[in-house]
């Protein structure tokens, strides 16, 4: 079952920096929900993700997963990074097995990994050294590695941004499918609007200096998503507008553009802009 | 060089020979250049021997030349007298390296991992490193009850620096993401060391050991000039005292051959411990 996350008023200062990197972030994620964090580089979205993973502690506020405060990494919530960062001295199987080995769960390990590698389409590569794989295949191994420990929550830090377009789309769909099948909650960081609309149930737009959540957009499209559909394209342009708002903060008041839009579907999108 | 074309015209019997010809070609290429090098060294040696033999002042040392040396070498090997000193020397080098590795690798891991430790140890370690191990000889003799102990200490103190610093270098080169992914997967410190750090630095450690073996083998001979009554260094000194220059040169040959073999073993270990895919 997926994890319920509650991010309670996180504010974070990096040592030596006057302005907070993150300010009063408050978000909840329902079990099984997929949430995208988008924003320009430096808005603190990656910092926030590291806090969810327990790799970084906020200076104020806390993250709770299923009511439990996150203070360190756990195999129950697993992070995938932009680079697959596989261990080049190991085979595909060994890389995928590591989480289970670290947990001491060696019983039935082989079958489990076989099954997982099959799921990510690498069954025939199990005994191959990871250095011989393509970037997309390597990221699949990283995905298998993350899923091996049965996480309740998957955190993705721009994991597909280094891949070519075809592989990227394939992996976006695959991760979404697997997460939905297994009921895993997903929080991912991206600066690819396409990716956000393709994968997320809800998109949070972040602004920088200090990092706050400036807008929220629900993506109520059925899976698997048709990227050429009108609504998909509409949502993308809507998101792009939010993005524009954060990039050029218009002085005193940013207009809630979603409501200003004379479009019939806008009510269903429930988009709103929070205080900028 | 249109080899394929000419081979296609060969009859089937010869065609079956092709794999063997290929192998022969590879062997030739691997042997050819080293042979030239070895022959060159022999030529220089022979020339030196000829110069010594033809100079009235140095004629007494004529048995340094290849002929007498190889004859003495053959005597040493066939009589089995060569093994005892080799055994003593390898015993000392082996233990010296053992201590150097046992202390140097953990020390290198710590220095590579903790920047503070690196800064603290920099001056004292560079200072100690630049002192010839042989300078410690009098102290070593006082401090250790046996000559063997003193020599092993000298070898260890010479070998420890390359191992320590190669290890530290390896640790510093570890991709921080590997550690992050590890902790993200729930690795404890022992897991991190065993599955991530050690495999990542193995090649650097063996490169350090290779350097250390070179240093140890060089320090061994002068260390064995002093006090002990066994080993290759002693054998050389002994041959000098008895004016058996052919035997002396034969032992020099033995030192070179064994040193070369030790280095070759290290090269193999370095290659085997490399995680880089062979291309």
A170-226, pLDDT tens digit by residue? 888 888 888 888 889 999 998 888 888 888 888 888 887 778 888 788 888 887 788
- Looking at the structure, do residues B113 and B243 belong to the same domain, yes or no? yes
Q: What is the pLDDT of residues B245-264, one digit of tens each?
A: 899 999 999 999 999 999 99
**Whether B43 and B121 share a structural domain:** no
A233 interface with B at CB cutoff 8 Å:
no
Stated as kind and residue range, the H or E segment containing A233 is helix A230-247
- Residue B210 sits in a domain whose CATH number is 1.10.3720.10
Note the pLDDT tens digit of each residue in A136-163. 889 889 988 988 888 889 999 988 888 8
Is the CB of A89 less than 8 angstroms away from the CB of B186? Answer: no
Q: Does one domain contain both B101 and B235?
A: yes
CATH 3.40.50.300 residue ranges for chain A: 5-76+153-273
A5-76+153-273 homologous superfamily: P-loop containing nucleotide triphosphate hydrolases (3.40.50.300)
Residue B40 resides in a domain:
yes
**Top-confidence residue, B11 or A63:** A63
Query: Among the residues of B130-244, which ranges form H helices?
Result: 137-143, 147-172, 176-184, 189-191, 198-224, 232-241
B275 Cα to chain A: minimum distance (Å): 5
Residue A101 CB partners (closer than 8 Å, separation 6+): A109, B191, B195
By CB atoms closer than 10 A (0-12, 13-18, 19+), residue A161 is: middle
The C-alpha angle A212, A82, A272, rounded to 5 degrees, equals 30
- Would the pLDDT of A240 be above 90? no
Chain B residues whose beta carbon lies within 8 Å of the beta carbon of residue A73: 183-186
Alpha-carbon gap, residue A222 to A227, rounded angstroms: 11
- Would the CB atoms of A75 and B185 count as touching at under 8 Å? yes
> Please, which pLDDT band fits residue A253 given cuts at 50, 70 and 90?
very low
Which residue does chain A place closest to B185, by CA atoms?
A: A99
pLDDT digits (tens, 9 = 90+) for A159-173: 888 888 888 888 888
Q: Which residues of B touch A (CB under 8 A)?
A: 175, 177-178, 180-188, 191, 195-196, 199-200, 275-277
Q: Which residue segment(s) compose the domain that B259 sits in?
A: 83-273
- How many interchain CB pairs under 8 A, A with B? 58
Domain tally, chain B: 2
| Chain A residues with beta carbon closer than 8 angstroms to that of B182 | 98, 102
Query: Is the minimum CB–CB distance between A73 and chain B shorter than 8 Å?
Result: yes
Ranges of residues in chain B whose predicted pLDDT is under 50: 1, 279
Q: How far apart are CA A160 and CA A195, in angstroms?
A: 9
Coil, strand, or helix at residue A237?
helix
Residues B40 and B117 in one domain: no
Q: What share of chain B is helix, strand, coil (3-state, %, to 5)?
A: 85, 0, 15
Query: For the stretch B250-276, what's the b/e string if a residue is b when 16 or more beta carbons lie within 10 angstroms of its beta carbon?
Result: bbbbbbeebbeebeeebeebbeebeee
């Amino acid at each position: 079952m997926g994890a319920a996350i509650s991010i309670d008023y996180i504010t974070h200062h990096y040592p030596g920096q006057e302005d907070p990197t993150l300010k009063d972030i408050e978000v909840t994620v329902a079990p099984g929900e997929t949430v995208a964090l988008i924003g320009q580089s430096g808005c603190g979205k990656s910092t926030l993700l590291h806090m969810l993973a327990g790799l970084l502690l906020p200076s104020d506020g806390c993250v709770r997963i299923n009511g439990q405060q996150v203070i360190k990494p756990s195999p129950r919530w697993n992070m995938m990074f932009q680079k697959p960062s596989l261990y080049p001295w190991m085979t595909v199987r060994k890389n995928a097995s590591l989480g289970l080995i670290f947990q001491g769960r060696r019983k039935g390990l082989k079958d489990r990994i076989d099954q997982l590698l099959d799921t990510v389409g690498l069954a025939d590569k199990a005994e191959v050294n990871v250095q011989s794989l393509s970037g997309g295949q390597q990221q699949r191994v990283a995905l298998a590695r993350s899923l091996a420990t049965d996480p309740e929550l998957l955190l993705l830090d721009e994991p597909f941004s280094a891949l070519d377009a075809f592989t990227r789309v394939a992996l976006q769909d695959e991760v979404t499918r697997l997460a939905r099948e297994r009921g895993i909650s997903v929080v991912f960081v991206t600066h690819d609007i396409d990716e956000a609309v393709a994968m997320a149930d809800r998109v949070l737009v972040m602004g920088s200096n200090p990092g706050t959540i400036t807008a929220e957009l629900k993506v109520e499209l059925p899976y698997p998503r048709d990227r050429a559909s009108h609504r998909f394209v509409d949502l993308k342009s809507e998101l792009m507008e939010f993005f524009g708002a954060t990039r050029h903060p218009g002085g005193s008041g940013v207009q809630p553009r979603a409501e200003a839009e004379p479009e019939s579907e806008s009510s269903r999108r429930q988009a709103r802009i929070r205080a900028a | 060089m249109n080899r394929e074309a000419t081979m296609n015209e060969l009859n089937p019997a010869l065609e079956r020979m092709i794999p063997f010809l290929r192998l022969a070609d590879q062997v030739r290429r691997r042997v050819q250049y080293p042979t030239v090098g070895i022959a060159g060294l022999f030529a220089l040696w022979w020339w030196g021997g000829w110069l010594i033999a033809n100079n009235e002042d140095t004629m007494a040392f004529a048995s340094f030349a290849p002929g007498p040396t190889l004859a003495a070498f053959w005597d040493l090997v066939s009589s089995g007298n060569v093994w005892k000193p080799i055994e003593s020397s390898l015993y000392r080098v082996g233990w010296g390296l053992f201590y150097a590795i046992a202390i140097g690798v953990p020390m290198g891991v710590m220095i590579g991992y903790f920047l503070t430790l690196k800064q603290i140890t920099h001056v004292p370690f560079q200072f100690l490193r630049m002192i010839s191990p042989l300078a410690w000889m009098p102290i070593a003799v006082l401090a250790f009850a046996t000559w063997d102990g003193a020599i092993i200490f000298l070898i260890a103190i010479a070998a420890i620096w390359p191992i320590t610093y190669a290890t530290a270098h390896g640790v510093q080169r570890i991709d921080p993401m590997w550690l992050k992914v590890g902790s993200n997967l729930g690795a404890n410190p022992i897991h991190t060391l065993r599955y991530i750090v050690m495999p990542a630095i193995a090649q650097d450690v063996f490169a350090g050991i290779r350097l250390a073996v070179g240093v140890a083998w060089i320090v061994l001979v002068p260390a064995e000039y002093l006090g002990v009554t066994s080993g290759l260094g002693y054998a050389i000194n002994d041959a000098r005292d008895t004016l058996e220059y052919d035997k002396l040169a034969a032992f020099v040959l033995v030192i070179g051959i064994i040193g070369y073999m030790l280095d070759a073993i290290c090269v193999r270990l370095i290659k085997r411990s490399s995680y880089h895919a062979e291309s």
